[in-house]
Structure 1
Amino acid sequence: MTLVTNHQDRNIIRVQLTQNVVLKGLSEQVISALEPYLIVVDCQKGDFLLHQGVHEMEQYFILDGILKRMVTNQQAKEMILRFADERSMETSYAAWKLKTPTPYSIVSVTKARVAKLPLHQWVAFMEEHPQLKETFEFEVMRLMSEIMAHTITLHLLDAPGRVHRFLRKHPTLFDRIPKKELASYLNLSAETLSRLKHQGKI
């Protein structure tokens, strides 16, 4: 883990930060003010960035790779809520605002690189930049709406319909996510997903 300002790839990382969905509208001056807070983390597949049920929370800006948000019940059954790739972000802002433990984990699906900072620092930074806070809170609401729509889809659409919806919504992710992970997200078996693909139904 290295601060952006000290990282050997800092010039590339700075460009990646300016492409992030939340940060892309910021001036160079504001991005520079944020950099000293950001720590770069390189993740291997399966690494946990955030564990379900904790109170120590962070804000994540995805630079490379794919993360997943997932929940686990007491029987250790997992449900994937969403995938996020570069230029996107992950957060547990709603839980932080409500002063509740994190309701989900954030895990690396592939090899990944993120820039992160403690959530309380991120919130303090946003308070100094109201337009950034508005953009961020809109993105948080959009993600929550997306997760709700996906959950409804699992109940309303058949297997091919679920796969087609994912392809329509996330065309660039289909071939990048391990099929076992994607099948789990779509509430299918890996065999069903493979069969649909070979039958040319997707």
Structure 2
Amino acid sequence: MSPQLRQHFEKITPLSDQEFEYISTHFVAKKFKKHQFLVQEGVPVPNDFFVIKGLVKASFTNDENKEHILQFAMEDWWVCDYQAYFNKTNATLNVDCLEDTEVLCLSLTNREKLCAELHKIEHFFRRKSNSGYIALQQRILSLMNSDAKGRYESFLKQHPTLFQRVPKTLIASYLGVSRETLSRLSS
């Protein structure tokens, strides 16, 4: 199993070789090509995804067919439609690959099993969830309180490598600005 996954867990909690070996048996490795979906709107979401290699975006398309990007996820990031995953409902988001991508899939059943059996894993996921809530709150406040320039500068500061990997039209969508506005901000 991926040493990357072990390093990711151990940023929060140390694991013995035996613990990691057991944990890794609960993940399934999968590869996706550019433009393939990990999660598709209207379909059940059986897995959470840990990105080993590649880049994906989580987005929602409104009734006017306008795409709103909620998240980009690259190496060492988790991505999913968590509402559908935890509530066992159909997805309202699409999660699709911007590059060829390798992920480790964790079913809700296996996640719950690991959390029930290993306090360290429950602690890990609680910490990851808390970090996710904080990031989401910061993103919402940024959209409410910052102008386009402020959101752009914040994006560059928080995710400098993404700007090189993500098409500018998608960054514009993530920031809630037009492609033309993004061009003016980045020049």
**Could you say whether these structures have the same fold, taking a TM-score greater than 0.5 normalized by the shorter chain as the test?**
yes
CA distance in 1, matches of 2:63, 2:28: 32
Q: CA deviation at 1:183?
A: 1.1
Aligned to 1:64: 53
Relative to structure 1, is the Cα distance of residues 192 and 108 closer, same or farther in structure 2, using a 3 angstrom cutoff? same
Paired letter, 1:72? T
TM alignment of 1:88-103, pairs within 5 A: 88-103=77-92
Following superposition, the deviation at residue 151 of structure 1 comes to 2.6
How many residues matched?
185
Is the aligned partner of 1:36 residue 2:47? no
RMSD of aligned Cα (Å): 2.2
Q: Which residue in the other structure is 1:11 paired with?
A: none
1:68 is displaced (CA, Å) by 1.7
Instruction: Tell me the equivalent position of 1:7.
Output: none
User: How far apart, CA to CA, are the structure 1 residues paired with 2:151 and 2:82?
Assistant: 28
- CA–CA separation in structure 2 for the residues paired with 1:80 and 1:35: 31
Q: 1 CA distance for matches of 2:66 and 2:146?
A: 22
TM-score computed with the length of structure 1 as normaliser = 0.79
Cα distance in 2 between the residues matched to 1:154 and 1:137: 26
**Letter aligned with residue 110 of structure 1:** E
Structure 2 residue corresponding to 1:128, chosen from 117, 132, 145: 117
Aligned residue for 2:156, secondary structure, equals helix
Matched letter for residue 133 of structure 1:
E
Q: CA deviation at 1:62?
A: 0.8
Distance in 1 between residues matched to 2:56 and 2:157, nearest whole Å? 20
Structure 2 distance, partners of 1:97, 1:73, is 23
- What secondary structure is seen at the aligned counterpart in 2 of 1:49? strand
1:17: which partner in 2? 5
2:145 to 156, 181, 190: 156
Cα distance in 1 for residues equivalent to 2:175 and 2:181: 11
After TM superposition, the runs of 4+ consecutive aligned structure 1 residues lying more than 6 A away are none
Secondary structure of 2:164 counterpart: coil
The Cα of 1:94 is off from its aligned counterpart by: 4.8
TM-score (norm 2): 0.85
Q: Pick one of 110, 121, 137 that aligns with 2:99.
A: 110
1:181 corresponds in structure 2 to 170
The answer to which of 90-99 and 179-188 deviates more is: 90-99
Cα deviation 1:97-116 (Å, max 9, x = unaligned): 44443342222222221111
Cα distance 1:168–1:141, how it changes in 2: closer, same or farther (>3 A)?
same
Match of 1:83 in 2: 72
Judge conservation of contact 2:114–2:121 (CA < 8 Å) in 1.
no
